[in-house]
Amino acid sequence: MIKDFASALRPSLAMTGLFAVVLCGLYPALITGVAQAAFPQAANGSLIERDGHVVGSALLGQGFASDRYFHGRPSAAGANGYDPTASSGSNLGPASQVLHDRIVKDLGAAKTSPRSSSPGSVPSDLVTASASGLDPHISPEAALFQIDRVAQARGIDPARVRLLVDAQVEKPLAGFLGEPRVNVLALNLALDAATAKGASSSQ
């Protein structure tokens, strides 16, 4: 019996070491080499720079509170939301009092801000927390819902903001993969760029 164990131990030890070298050393090193050479932008986190500073990642949402910006979804990542060191959903269940109270509060805030172009109810993605807490997207309806607030805060024509939103709408791939969506950070960057241009051309 002891002989059987001993005969199993040597290959177990050796194979652990050998596989570790190939699967945990060579394999990730190979992928990292290829990735850094062929897709450096994606491999390093799809970072976005403005004026030489990293302002975020094209794939990650970030918190927006000001009326001048489009807002993303409620986030349960970290204490203040949108913390990439603590990705998480709320994990609140379908009959949770805490969930109910949170949505009531967010609905109240959404409804008191100025809006006229979207008389319907609040789009549900605007008051539900995403799975990652880092969802970079909102639905096109959720973007349209915020147009008047943003236009008013910036003192520009809502029709101009609407054009910016329309330009940012991404459609499902091949008609059935994914949902129509708007990347909030990309939209806000476009908004800043357009407003800055508008301001400088009017001077």
Partner 1 sequence: MTFVGWTLILVFTALIALLAKPAGLWLFALYEGRRTPLHGVLGPVERGFYRVAGIDPAREQGWRTYALHMLMFQVVTTLFTYAILRAQAVLPLNPRGLAGVGADGSMNTAIAFVTNTNWQWYAGESVLSNFSQMVALTLHNFLSAATGIAVAFALFRGFARAQTKLLGNFWADLTRVTLYLLLPISIVYAVFLVASGVPQTFASTIDATTLEGVKQTIVVGPVASQEAIKMLGTNGGGFFNANSAHPFENPTALTNFVQMLSIFLLGAGLTWTFGKAVGNPRQGWAILAAMLTLFVAGASIAYWQEAASTPLLHGLGLSGGNLEGKEVRFGLAASALFSAVTTAASCGAVNAMHDSFTALGGLIPMFNMQLGEIVIGGVGSGIYGFLLFALLAVFIAGLMVGRTPEYVGKKIEAREVKLAVLAIAILPLCILGLSAIASVLPAGLAGPLNKGPHGFSEILYAFSSATANNGSAFAGLSAGTPFYNGLLGVGMWLGRFFIIIPVLAIAGSLAAKKHTPATAGSFPTTGPLWVGLLIGTILIIGGLTFLPSLALGPVADHVASASGKLF
Q: Does 133 bind partner 1 (CB under 8 A)?
A: yes
Site for partner 1 in 16-55 (CB under 8 A): 16, 18-20, 22-25, 27-28, 30-32, 34-36, 38-39, 42-47, 53-55
Residue type, 138: I
Distance CA 200, CA 203 (A): 5
Binds partner 1 by CB under 8 A, chosen from 3, 52, 79, 85: 85
The single residue listed with the structure tokens 């080499």 is 33
Stretch that binds partner 1, among 145-153, 154-162, 182-190, 193-201 (CB under 8 A): 182-190
Which segment (101-109, 145-153, 156-164, 194-202) binds partner 1 by CB under 8 A? Answer: 101-109
Query: Helix %, strand %, coil % for the chain, to 5?
Result: 50, 10, 40
Q: d(Cα 191, Cα 165) in Å, to the nearest integer?
A: 9
Minimum Å distance from CB 27 to partner 1? 6
Q: Quote the Cα angle for 9-11-14, to 5°.
A: 105
165 lines the binding site for partner 1 (CB under 8 A): no
177 binds partner 1 (CB under 8 A): yes
